[in-house]
Amino acid sequence: MLRRLTFVGSSRLQQEKQKDYRNVVLVQVVIIVMGMMLSGPLLENPRSEVSKLIISVFSFFGGLYAFLLWDLLRNFTRNTRLIAVVFLALVGIVVFGIMIEFPYYKLINIENRRAALLVIHGILFPIEVLVIVYTIRDIFFSEFLTPDKLWGSACVYLMTGISFGSLYDLICISGLGNLGVELELGIPNYAECVGHSLSLLGGIDSRYPDATHLIKNLGVIEGLWGSLFTVLIIGKLLGLPRPDHGNR
């Protein structure tokens, strides 16, 4: 009886994780597609009405993505303090980011916008890495091949591209490097950094060959990690048995 109850509890957790993984992946796809397809107006004129609309929609999905990261994290740990800290941090950066980046009017006036963006991405990037670590641990320490592991693998792969994009943007904001072109800091630069990251992760030559030495070296690390993760995850998932529900 206890074994059956344990299986039922585990099955419910797998279903919850599968739903959360799927939601994160869908929002990641929306963010990536928007960044790739709608970045043109942002590069031409970030102050145009079309650019303002794009920034508003992009910000909405960015806030939704932050919430889904927190919701996903709750599946991996019972550390209520960590969950609370991450929640407050994500709420803080979403609210603060909207207040300084809302395109139609400024809710608050920040003299040092670069420092504000540095704080936002400096908090967001470690949280993304934390969720990636927990997700990888969940996938590689599993005993059976279940649908949530497949969605989790896609989640980690796309999150790697987005998180490295955050890292490149963080480097640009800090002044330690850039993509080799003049881009306005904020969503325009972030969208291009994510595009640069996904190009390298997918084995495609970057659109910014004149990026600084630091960003190029990090790009090599990202490309190697993407290839290594693909090999490891295929080997892991192919080697996992499917759960035998009939014997449970």
Annotated domain spans of the chain = 12-241
DSSP sequence for 37-82: HSHHHHHH-TTSHHHHHHHHHHHHHHHHHHHHHHHHHTTT---HHH
| pLDDT tens track for 32-46 | 888 778 777 877 887
Burial class (CB in 10 A: 0-12, 13-18, 19+), 8: exposed
144: closest CA among 247, 227, 68?
247
Q: Per-residue pLDDT for 7 more than 50? A: no
pLDDT single digits (tens) 101-110: 777 776 677 7
Q: What is the mean pLDDT of the chain?
A: 82
What confidence tens digit (pLDDT) does each residue in 112-153 have? 888 888 888 889 999 999 999 999 888 877 766 677 788 888
pLDDT digits (tens, 9 = 90+) for 197-224: 988 888 887 778 888 889 889 989 998 8
